[in-house]
Amino acid sequence: MEADAARLIGAGLACFGMIGAGIGLGQIFGSYLSAAIRNPSAAKGQFGTLIFGFAVTEAIGIFSLLIAFLLLFGG
């Protein structure tokens, strides 16, 4: 198999990592929503934690996207 072909296949495989990030993000926002509907007044105070949790979970998905981009466009 040529190196170029292997790179493209690898880039496609690397995108599987974003499955986990998607599930994790759904978990975070889902649990925030269900708790916020039960206790709306306490929800505002935890919004910062929500955004922080979103960002660190999204980062893992972006790490896998980074591998895909490095394989596609890297030198």
**Beta carbon nearer to other proteins, 23 or 72:** 72
Query: In whole angstroms, what is the distance from residue 30 CA to residue 24 CA?
Result: 10
Q: Closest distance between other proteins and the C-beta of residue 29, in Å? A: 14
Query: In whole angstroms, what is the distance from residue 31 CA to residue 9 CA?
Result: 36
Please enumerate in sequence order all residues whose Cβ is within 8 A of that of 53, keeping only pairs 6 or more positions apart, or say none: 28
Q: Closest distance between other proteins and the C-beta of residue 46, in Å? A: 12
Which residues lie near other proteins (CB under 8 A)?
A: 4, 7-8, 48, 51-52, 54-56, 58-59, 62-63, 65-66, 69, 72-73
